[in-house]
Amino acid sequence: MPEKTVVVIGAGVAGLTTALLLSKCPGYKIIVAAKHMPGDYDIEYASPWAGANYMPVSIRGTEAAEWEKATWAPLEDLARNHPEAECEIHRREKDAGSATADWFAELLSPEPWFKDTVPDFRPLPKSSLGPGVDAGTVFTSVCINTAIYLPWLVSQCLKNGVTFKRAVFSHILEAAGPSVCPGKVDFVVNCTGLMASKLGGVNDKTVIAARGQIVVVRNEAGKMVDVSGTDDGDGEACYVMTRAAGGGTILGGCYQKGNWDSQVDPNLAIRIMKRAVELCPALTGGRGIEHLDIVRHGVGLRPVREGGVRIERERVGDLWLVHNYGAGGAGYQSSYGCAQAAIRLIQDAAGPQSRL
Ligand code: FAD
């Protein structure tokens, strides 16, 4: 079987995971071409900004749930040498119908689909719930340190012979052109995230930004916590995540649909820190936000797609396009499942190559 050439557009978690898993299969020459690479921080590049923990949000019975389910085991395996942390989910009845509570609908369920996927899932005893919290659950989760995970994905790809190239495409078909690869390209895999909304030949207007603002601090909370909502407006959220391997603690946040503003809102930053300290007094030993030791403030845009992630194949002339974009706030926790689904589409079109 002659080697197939695959150009993956995008070096976020979607593109890198797809390239890495495909590089484990024989018969493919893989080039990752992207405007942004690990090490960059930019509003068009969501992956470095993520928490990023495993906190499933997909609806029971959907393909998205299968993709999140398929991602737990590889992430848990990677985390084995690092301490896993408990993740508490707090539900307040008064948040019902808010943007955050809708986003977290399955997460807030006392019987979510993932209760047998993650270890130690159980309800929180009523006595342990803070004021205003009506119910809660807790389970063991992992939290990825994106600053080391993305370069690690690159290093694993390089080890398997994947090559990397900086490139900015105005049309998807440019990725199959001679500036990327002088020979014939068989597949272009579109992992452009939010920018799929602006890429020529794709222009998917169902992909929109859901703005997230975070504060990274050196303080430790000892656990991860997520609440169904806040008292500060519909688009605001409250969560605390501790990244693995000294990556600091992420205080969040918000979920502002349609907002592309790349600048930190200082008032929102204060609200985020106040809510976090109230939720996890251990962060500052019961003291105020002036005792938070800030590493940085950040803003990232989640690539939310109406109808969920697009994993599809299409034929243009003698070229196959395979899409894997639009993971919203779940790009890490569904990364393996989505990459595997995209690779199946490549393998089915490429003929009987070896399976994953
Ligand atoms: P991106 O990371 O945006 O990468 C897109 C790539 O495509 C980049 O390399 C870019 O340069 C390239 N590209 C785009 N257009 C072009 C072009 N025209 N030419 C060349 N290259 C191009 N997810 C979780 O699973 N768990 C979490 O806890 C979590 N927390 C989050 C918290 C925040 C604040 C935010 C913002 C997101 C969070 N997410 C989380 C979501 C996660 O970050 C995204 O789903 C994920 O990063 C999307 O990855 P991606 O590879 O699809 O896109």
- Domain contains 18: yes
pLDDT of the chain, 356 residues: tens digit per residue = 679 999 999 999 999 999 999 999 999 999 999 999 999 999 999 999 998 889 999 999 999 999 999 999 999 888 775 556 789 999 999 999 988 898 899 999 999 999 999 999 999 999 999 899 999 999 999 899 999 999 999 999 999 999 999 999 999 999 999 999 999 999 999 999 999 999 999 999 999 999 999 999 999 998 999 999 999 998 999 999 988 888 899 999 999 999 999 999 999 999 999 999 999 999 999 999 999 999 999 999 999 999 999 999 999 999 999 999 999 999 999 999 999 999 999 999 998 654 54
329 is in an annotated binding site: yes
For ligand 1, what atom is nearest to the CA of residue 324?
Answer: 52
Q: What is the pLDDT of residue 69?
A: 96
Q: Report DSSP state, residue 92.
A: -
Chain centroid offset of residue 257 CA: 16
Split into its structural domains, the chain has a count of 1
Q: How far is the CA of 32 from the centre of ligand 1 (A)?
A: 15
Q: How far is the CA of 149 from the centre of ligand 1 (A)?
A: 13
For ligand 1, mutation pick of 332, 336, 338 (most atoms within 8 Å of CB): 332
State the Cα–Cα distance between residues 97 and 91, nearest whole angstrom: 12
Annotated binding-site residue? 302: yes
Strands 163-166 and 256-257 turn out to be unpaired
Instruction: Determine whether the shortest distance from the Cβ of 337 to ligand 1 is under 6 A.
Output: no
Task: In whole angstroms, give the CA distance from residue 108 to residue 229.
Answer: 11
Does 33 reside within a domain?
yes
* One-character DSSP codes across 12-40: SHHHHHHHHHHHTSTTEEEEEEES--BTB
Question: Which CATH number does the domain housing residue 18 bear?
Answer: 3.40.50.720
Residue 56 CB–ligand 1 contact under 6 Å: no
Which of 16, 47, 322 best tests ligand 1's pocket when mutated (most atoms within 8 Å of CB)?
Answer: 47
Residue 184 inside a domain? The answer is yes
Closest CA to 15 of 165, 128, 130, 142: 165
Amino acid identity for residue 15 in this structure: G
Dihedrals φ, ψ of 86, to 5°? Answer: -75, 145
330 lies in a domain?
yes
Give 119-127 contacts, CB < 8 A, sequence gap 24+.
120/86, 124/88, 124/90
The reply to whether 17 sits in an annotated binding site is no
Single out the residue of 186, 188, 166 nearest to residue 175, CA to CA: 188
Work out the burial of residue 20: count CB atoms within 10 Å of its CB; fewer than 13 is exposed, 13-18 middle, 19 or more buried: buried
The pTM (predicted TM-score) of the whole model is 0.95
- Could you tell me how far CA 241 lies from the centroid of its own chain? 14
Q: Whose CA is nearest to atom 37 of ligand 1?
A: 50
What does the alpha-carbon distance between residue 44 and residue 350 come to, in Å, rounded to a whole number? 32
**Under a CB-based contact definition with an 8 Å cutoff, are residues 226 and 242 in contact?**
no
> Per the domain annotation, does 356 fall within a domain?
no
Q: Whole domain around residue 170: which residue ranges?
A: 4-350
Please indicate, yes or no, if residue 355 is contained in any of the structural domains.
Answer: no
For residue 127, count other CB atoms closer than 10 A to its CB. 5
pLDDT at position 352: 63
State in Å: Cα 330 to ligand 1 middle: 10
Residue 192 annotated as binding? yes
Q: How far is the CA of 150 from the centre of ligand 1 (A)?
A: 11
Instruction: Flag whether 320 is in a domain.
Output: yes
ipTM: 0.99
Residue 44 pLDDT: 97
Residue 254 lies in a domain: yes
Q: What is the pLDDT of residue 84?
A: 62
Ligand 1 centre to CA of 300 (Å) is 8
Map residue 176 onto helix, strand or coil.
helix
Ligand 1 test: best mutation among 154, 191, 194, most atoms within 8 Å of CB? 191
Neighbours of 198 (CB within 10 A): 14
